[in-house]
Structures are given as C-alpha cells and as structure tokens.
Amino acid sequence: MSDQRQQLLSGVHQAIGHTPMVHLSRITAGLDGAIYAKLEYLNPGFSKKDRIALQIIEEAEQDGSLQPGQPVVELTSGNTGTGLAIVCAVKGYPFIAVMSKGNSYERARMMRALGAEVVLVDQAPGPVPGQVSGESLALVEAEAQRLVREQGAFRADQFERLGNTHAHEHHTAMEIWAQTKGEIDVFVDFAGSGGTFAGCAKALKRCNPAIRCYVVEPESAPYLAGQPVTNPNHRIQGGGYSMKLPLLDREDVTDYLTVSDEEAIAAARELARKEGIFAGFSSGANIAAAMRLLRERERGARIALTINDSGLKYLSTDLFD
C-alpha cells in the first residue's frame, strides 16, 4: 500500500490507504485536549475495511492459499465485503459476500454493483432491521462456511486472519504516527472484528509504550469488558457482536469504554454538522467515547481515532433523520 497518489495507478486498489488526518477543533471547542480523526471513509470503498481486504488477499496470494480464479467468500456487515468486491474485481477473483438482512441495504447494492454475489441471511428471531446481534452473525457464519465447502472457495475470514491486524499495524498506525508527528497520548476504537484496535495498539505502543488504548463497546453489550450483556440488539452497525475476538490482545487494552446508541448517533450527527464529516454509527461511537475521555479521565490528552465509514451507507436508516 505504497503512496502512489501522485502517480498514474494501475488499479484502484493502489489508492487504498494514506487517508488524511484532521484535527477536530470544532466539536472539541471548550474542552482541554484534542481529537485527531483519520478519514478512512475516503478509501475507494468508503471504509477502513478496504485496507484489510487488500492485505488479506495479497498475503493469501503470497503464501499460495489463494489460487488464480478461485472464488473468495466472506461474512460481512458490508464494509469488508465492499473492500473485497473492489480488490477481487481488480485482481480477477469471483467474490461472494454473506451478510445479515439486518444491515443497511445500501451496502448490499454497492457490492452487487461491484460484481459481487451477495447472499442475504435472515436474522435470528427478535432483532429488528438495523440491529445485528452475535446470534444473527452466527447464522451468517454458518452460511459462509457452507458456501466455502460447496464452492471450494478461499475464506477471507476477517475475524481470524492476521492480514486484518497487519493492515493496521504496518499501515494505518504508522500513518497516524507520521501525520501527528508522534504527538498522541490515546488511541480509541469501537471493536468490530478487533483488527483495527489490535494492529494500531500494537504499533503505536511500539512507538511509545505510554500511549493508552481504549476499546469501545455498546452500552448494552459490554461483552469484551466481561460485563453483563443486557441487550445484544443495539443499533451500532459493524461491531459490538458480543463474541470473542481472536485478534484482540487484551494486554494492549488500557480499559474498556461503552457508548449508548443515542450517544453514537448524536456524535455522528454533530460530526457532520460541525466538522463536515459524514460518517456512520461506529465512527459516532468513537467520537462519543473520545469526547467523554476529554471531559473526564483524559483531560488534556491528544486522542487519535478512525472515521470508519461513510454516512452514505446508512441513508436507509434513521441515523440522519
């Protein structure tokens, strides 16, 4: 993922990464400290997941686990699938995305437009559209496994493959470090697959062991913190699945934070109105957690985080009603 944006690229996959970083001075006015936001929604697929899609595919090409023309299958809430649809289109692999019907339909339409086959799986009993629980995700996983067997496919497996961590350890984190000139105290991340936190925390702590790294979860589903899950059917799409995350190294976790659905939504709306950054639910969760830290235990800190995806992917939801 070298920075070739000043050159003629041989494919759009070479435009992945090297996203801008912005000081959010408007929403933090009056607070002691700063928030630095990495605009991952400016990747070609409008999310940070483009990075892991490229890393996982290229590592699989290098070790021989992915053969030319072999189908690729992955479970996705939409963003990893979009990234894989882009990378597979450029590199010539058929791609099958398996997604819960609870996710916003814009992402399924986008993946289909990019040439992917999209398999939508019914939700587990109980949740309404927009609320994807770990139980619903388990149904998607079962369908993904079936398709891998039937198609003889390569499973991208974002929850297990180290390419997920490597994309952020070798690229995202080092870009953050360079863009801030190393002047950061805290990293905050809403946990989906755990790869962003795992990779960024590992690399940033290697640069400066004093950096504090916080995992963010839904208020009603603080599973990783070891607290009771009162409602797994929260509205923050793309994470908070109340399930083990094999990539997450607890030794790198300073502490666990929670945000409510309402806090995440309010922060996403404020981010759009005051900073002109149009982002989704999980980005709102990151912002809400960072703002609370600046008001409370991390006053005066310089906090880095990612803006995970575009608000365009949620126009069918009530995020911006």
Q: Which of 135, 155, 175 is the last residue of a domain?
A: 155
Whether 100 is catalytic: no
Which among 109, 90, 112, 108 is positioned nearest to 99, based on CA atoms? 108
> Does 183 share its domain with 127?
no
The structure tokens listed for 318 are: 């009530």
pLDDT of residue 14: 97
CA separation for the pair 151, 87 (Å, rounded):
19
Whether 136 is catalytic: no
> Does 97 share its domain with 166?
no
User: What are the pLDDT digits (tens) for 190-218?
Assistant: 999 999 999 999 999 999 999 999 999 99
> Does 101 share its domain with 73?
yes
Q: Which residues pair with 256 in a beta bridge?
A: 215
CATH number at 22 reads: 3.40.50.1100
> Does 178 share its domain with 290?
yes
> Does 181 share its domain with 255?
yes
Out of 282, 283, 310, 313, which one is annotated catalytic? Answer: 282
> Average pLDDT of 299-310?
98
Q: What is the pTM of this model?
A: 0.93
Domain count, the chain: 2
For 282, the domain range is: 12-48+162-314
What count of residues does the chain have? 321
Does residue 7 form part of some domain?
no
Radius of gyration of the chain (CA): 18
> Does 306 share its domain with 168?
yes
> Does 42 share its domain with 53?
no
Does residue 240 form part of some domain?
yes
> Does 293 share its domain with 233?
yes
Mean of per-residue pLDDT scores for the chain: 94
84-88, 104-108, 197-201, 291-295: the lowest-pLDDT one:
104-108
Which among 315, 321, 319, 320 is positioned nearest to 107, based on CA atoms? 315
Q: Name the residue type at position 220.
A: S
Does residue 309 form part of some domain?
yes
Out of 38, 48, 49, 313, which one is annotated catalytic? Answer: 49
Q: Which of 100, 128, 155 is the last residue of a domain?
A: 155
User: What are the pLDDT digits (tens) for 210-248?
Assistant: 999 999 999 999 999 999 999 988 999 889 989 999 999
What percentage of the chain exceeds 90 in pLDDT? 86
> Does 194 share its domain with 101?
no
> Does 146 share its domain with 256?
no
CA separation for the pair 234, 126 (Å, rounded):
12
> Does 132 share its domain with 247?
no
Question: Taking the C-alpha atoms of 148, 154, 159 and 163 in order, what is their torsion angle to the nearest 10 degrees?
Answer: 180
User: What are the pLDDT digits (tens) for 40-56?
Assistant: 999 999 999 999 999 99
Which among 193, 243, 187 is positioned nearest to 74, based on CA atoms? 193
Q: Which of 127, 155, 183 is the last residue of a domain?
A: 155
Neighbours of 120 (CB within 10 A): 16
